[in-house]
Chain A
Amino acid sequence: MSKVIMTVDDSNSIRQMVGFTLKRAGFEVVEAIDGQDAINQLKGSPVDMMITDLNMPNMDGIELIKSVRTMQKYKFIPIVMLTTESQDEKKQEGKAAGATGWIVKPFKPDQLVSIINKVLRQ
């Protein structure tokens, strides 16, 4: 059974691009438009991994990671955050909140897939 990855981003274009790349790599994709939306959806069907942006309305990425780690079911799932170069301290903050890794924007589809292979057991 293919693994389910949730992508959380307020930018439609990034969601589309990430979603397309993941589907082509054989994953199932669940999309969420911000942290709050992600939390709501996580309560429903389970996911195996999460890719999240950091700057989002309602609930940002850091908050999202923190709350996901408190959910018993998702305590240990890999979470990769999307950052930009200028957000070094964000990276640290994200790690502290429980992110597994990060990918720096802009990235190529291949880079995204290789990061997923690095953190998600298939």
Chain B
Amino acid sequence: MDETQNFIEIYRQEADELLIEIEETVLEIEEAPEDREAINRLFRAVHTIKGSGAMFGFDKIVDFTHTLETVLDMLRDALLPVTKDLIDLILKCRDHIKSILNHTAGGDEVDMDYENSLVESLNAFLGQAEKREDRPASADTRKPETEDLEKREVTYRIRFKPEPNIFMTGTDPALLLEELKEYGDHEVIPQFKNIPFFDELNPEECYIFWDIILTTSVSYNTIKDVFIFVEDNCELSIEIIDNEVDYVYDDDLKRLGEILVERNDVSPDEINSALNEQKKLGEILVDSNKVDSQTLVSALAEQNQLKKVKEKRCEDKGASSLRVASDKLDVLVDLVGELVTVQARLTQLSSNLEHTDLISISEEVERLTGELRDNTMSIRMMPIGTTFSKFRRLVRDLSGQLGKNIDLITEGAETELDKTVLDRLDDPLVHLIRNSIDHGIESPEKRKKAGKPEKGTIKLSAGQKGAHVVITINDDGGGLDVDVIREKAVQKDIISKDAALTDKETFELIFAPGFSTAGSITNVSGRGVGMDVVKKTIESLRGAIEVDSIKGEGTTITLKLPLTLAIINGLLVTIGDVFYVLPLASVEECVELANSKSEQASGSNILNVRGDIIPYIRLRDHFGVEEEKPDLEHIVIADVHEKRIGFVVDNVIGGHQTVIKPLGPAFKHMKDISGATILGNGTVALILDVNALI
């Protein structure tokens, strides 16, 4: 801020000039103590040094000059006599101000002891002065307001009745009203009843007053501050007429007419005609000159505003949330699933019949069904964060119990998952986190020895990847020991002694039934029923579990779960005369595979797509389909484990809303197929599990 620096420089020059003036004036006063004008000049000079100093941050000068100013004020009011002592002191003070000023420009340090002694002497003069009434402590009303933190909406009734001479102070009452209007929903009702007859009317006076009904979240003091300049020139009342706290439902009482109609004592028509005969309360009051019509307008506006506030509040309450039993939702999802299937049949039929009107209806049904499906699914989606927050407590309690020091970090709490998946995920996650706390993170002493921070960290993160949600549990503990796992597995007859296993395969052994590596069984984990149950649960959710570990550095367990269990967007393809569905979320593109091309590749099963080398699998061969293959085959390129893999199919039919139906237990061993769905023509299509295919 160059400009500020500039002002400071100007102030410095100004203060220098004023200090010279003070010196001259003080000497003048010494010669002619009765020179009132000189005393006034002295006071003004000191006052300006103080006032301007405050503007530019010369707080030290302001502090010191304050007492001097008070003494001079008394001198000015002739409460103190001009004495040599006083003159000496003022001159000393003047010199001191000069030295403070020099200090701020980089000069010598100010002698605080000296300053205190000066202030003491000044105070002594103050004490000498005749006791005056204590000055009222003047509060600085323009200090920045401390706003109420609460954002509660309150409705105020404000009556602003300026004195007739308000214009004489240059005040524009309309500006104040406009300022108020910015604070919220409002109704301003002018009141004209004080306007005199024309021959008595002074156009320079204000006869109108205003009633304002304001619904706002700003504080009472903020509203009062709007009128700060006119407080003494107006009648002002600010009352709270509606406050959420006091809010009670009081509209539920039935009216007399309603009760009579309900009891069949009178007919609704009779009530209405009786009501029409009756005059409204307001009209009666106006007719009898009890109130004027503007007052009535004001009261009605207040009633209206309150009604609006209450309605809004009811809406807010209604919009917040609604609890529904989850089995009702399950039924809804099932019905939507059925509807999607029926709609597919309708679409197929209408296109077969080539009936234009029917097609347009069926397209509409398709659109609505799609919206209904998305909405229903989104109802079931819940953020995973609610589950995460439970683990905070778990980690805290367990780590304390085991004498370990562990931090839990969570990421992606906003990731959404189907409620059903989420509910069933609870137990596996508890198991995995318990394992991390118990087996993973070492004791603080052990960690210290290994050169790690004493505090261990467990990181729980979630994120969406395609049609899946990936949850990882990562700890910076001791990691899995390949040799120990191997030994244990051999001992428990899970593998033979000479089995050749990679590290990764060895890690997978911890999911085998009856496996437990902990030397002793603690009450936290190690009962050996954990990991295999975890794996089973995840698989029953059509998910996958993977473990990865580096000895001494930690373990990461990755869970991959489908977003929803009910309906997916699929890509319908055919191989031979069987329909298959690939989950659309993992499909990247479809390309044609000319017969000759694949022959050229001579069984290497590798395709060049715009420069990318993509390996592919012939599903025809994989499923042993024997029908003759078409001249033009298609490759569906999918993203599997972040690699692009092609699946060769006979024909790509298109997108399909796939309602997943589980296969019966007889097909449990079918690893490549994750379910089935019913097509529009009643045929069954198999849903391919691309992860399992490769």
Tell yes or no: B232 within 8 A of A by CB. yes
Give the chain A neighbours of B43 by CB distance below 8 A: 55
Closest Cβ–Cβ distance, residue B15 to chain A (whole Å): 9
Q: Is the interface of B mostly helix, strand, loop or mixed?
A: helix
Q: How far is the CA of A17 from the CA of B3 in the complex (A)?
A: 9
Tell yes or no: B54 within 8 A of A by CB. yes
B142 touches A57 (CB 8 A): no
Given A78-B170, A88-B138: A101 in contact with B55 (beta carbons within 8 A): no
Tell yes or no: A100 within 8 A of B by CB. yes
17 example contacts (A-B, Cβ-Cβ < 8 A) are as follows A13-B11, A17-B55, A20-B7, A55-B44, A75-B204, A76-B168, A78-B170, A82-B51, A86-B69, A92-B232, A95-B232, A104-B140, A105-B51, A106-B54, A106-B55, A107-B55, A119-B170
Q: How far is the CA of A49 from the CA of B171 in the complex (A)?
A: 11
A121 touches B172 (CB 8 A): yes
List residues of A (35-70) whose CB comes within 8 Å of B's CBs.
53, 55-57, 69
Chain B 164-196 interface 0/1 with A at a Cβ cutoff of 8 Å (1 = within)? 000111111011100100000000000000000
Give the chain A neighbours of B44 by CB distance below 8 A: 10, 55-57
B142 touches A103 (CB 8 A): yes
Q: With A14-B55, A57-B41 given, name 14 new contacts (CB 8 A).
A: A16-B7, A53-B51, A55-B44, A56-B44, A78-B170, A78-B172, A84-B54, A86-B70, A92-B232, A99-B169, A104-B140, A105-B54, A118-B179, A119-B170
Closest Cβ–Cβ distance, residue B234 to chain A (whole Å): 12
Give the chain B neighbours of A14 by CB distance below 8 A: 51-52, 55
Give the chain A neighbours of B136 by CB distance below 8 A: 88
Give the chain A neighbours of B226 by CB distance below 8 A: 118
A78 touches B54 (CB 8 A): no
Closest Cβ–Cβ distance, residue B608 to chain A (whole Å): 65
Closest Cβ–Cβ distance, residue A97 to chain B (whole Å): 9
Who on chain B is nearest to A91 by CB?
A: B138
* B171: contacting residue among A20, A92, A100, A111, CB under 8 A: A100
B47 touches A55 (CB 8 A): yes
Who on chain A is nearest to B231 by CB?
A: A95
Central interface residue in A11, A16, A57, A95, by most chain B CB within 10 Å? A11
Given A57-B41, A104-B140: A12 in contact with B171 (beta carbons within 8 A): no
Give the chain A neighbours of B159 by CB distance below 8 A: none
Tell yes or no: B56 within 8 A of A by CB. yes
A119 touches B55 (CB 8 A): no
A residues contacting B by CB (< 8 A) are 10-14, 16-17, 20, 53, 55-57, 69, 75-79, 82, 84-88, 92, 95, 98-107, 111, 118-121
Give the chain B neighbours of A69 by CB distance below 8 A: 168
Give the chain A neighbours of B11 by CB distance below 8 A: 13
A13 touches B14 (CB 8 A): yes
Given A76-B170, A78-B171, A101-B229: A85 in contact with B51 (beta carbons within 8 A): no
Q: How far is the CA of A73 from the CA of B339 in the complex (A)?
A: 80
Tell yes or no: B96 within 8 A of A by CB. no
Interface size of B in residues (CB-CB distance below 8 Å): 43
A119 touches B14 (CB 8 A): no
B48 touches A55 (CB 8 A): yes
Who on chain B is nearest to A110 by CB?
A: B144
Tell yes or no: B228 within 8 A of A by CB. yes
List residues of B (28-55) whose CB comes within 8 Å of A's CBs.
41, 43-44, 47-48, 50-52, 54-55
Q: How far is the CA of A100 from the CA of B162 in the complex (A)?
A: 13
Tell yes or no: B10 within 8 A of A by CB. yes
Q: How far is the CA of A90 from the CA of B307 in the complex (A)?
A: 46
Give the chain B neighbours of A75 by CB distance below 8 A: 167-168, 204
Closest Cβ–Cβ distance, residue B489 to chain A (whole Å): 73
Q: How far is the CA of A104 from the CA of B14 in the complex (A)?
A: 21
Q: How far is the CA of A103 from the CA of B142 in the complex (A)?
A: 7
Q: How far is the CA of A16 from the CA of B689 in the complex (A)?
A: 77
Given A55-B44, A84-B50: A105 in contact with B170 (beta carbons within 8 A): no
Who on chain A is nearest to B48 by CB?
A: A11
Give the chain A neighbours of B172 by CB distance below 8 A: 78, 119, 121
B52 touches A11 (CB 8 A): yes
Q: How far is the CA of A88 from the CA of B141 in the complex (A)?
A: 11
Give the chain A neighbours of B228 by CB distance below 8 A: 101
A76 touches B48 (CB 8 A): no
B10 touches A16 (CB 8 A): yes
Who on chain A is nearest to B141 by CB?
A: A104
Q: How far is the CA of A88 from the CA of B137 in the complex (A)?
A: 9
Give the chain B neighbours of A79 by CB distance below 8 A: 170
Give the chain A neighbours of B10 by CB distance below 8 A: 12-13, 16
Who on chain A is nearest to B167 by CB?
A: A76
Q: How far is the CA of A16 from the CA of B10 in the complex (A)?
A: 9
A84 touches B51 (CB 8 A): yes
A121 touches B14 (CB 8 A): no
Give the chain A neighbours of B204 by CB distance below 8 A: 75
B14 touches A12 (CB 8 A): yes
Given A69-B168, A79-B170: A105 in contact with B48 (beta carbons within 8 A): no
Q: How far is the CA of A85 from the CA of B138 in the complex (A)?
A: 6
Q: How far is the CA of A107 from the CA of B443 in the complex (A)?
A: 59
B48 touches A17 (CB 8 A): no
* A95: contacting residue among B7, B54, B169, CB under 8 A: B169
Given A10-B48, A100-B170: A119 in contact with B229 (beta carbons within 8 A): yes
Given A88-B138, A95-B169, A104-B140: A118 in contact with B175 (beta carbons within 8 A): yes
Given A11-B48, A84-B51, A105-B55: A119 in contact with B175 (beta carbons within 8 A): yes
B56 touches A13 (CB 8 A): yes
List residues of B (300-329) whose CB comes within 8 Å of A's CBs.
none
Closest Cβ–Cβ distance, residue B190 to chain A (whole Å): 18
Q: How far is the CA of A20 from the CA of B462 in the complex (A)?
A: 55
Chain B 99-143 interface 0/1 with A at a Cβ cutoff of 8 Å (1 = within)? 000000000000000000000000000000000000110101110
Who on chain A is nearest to B165 by CB?
A: A98
B3 touches A20 (CB 8 A): yes
B169 touches A13 (CB 8 A): no
Q: How far is the CA of A105 from the CA of B11 in the complex (A)?
A: 15
Give the chain B neighbours of A92 by CB distance below 8 A: 232
Q: How far is the CA of A95 from the CA of B7 in the complex (A)?
A: 30
Closest Cβ–Cβ distance, residue A70 to chain B (whole Å): 11
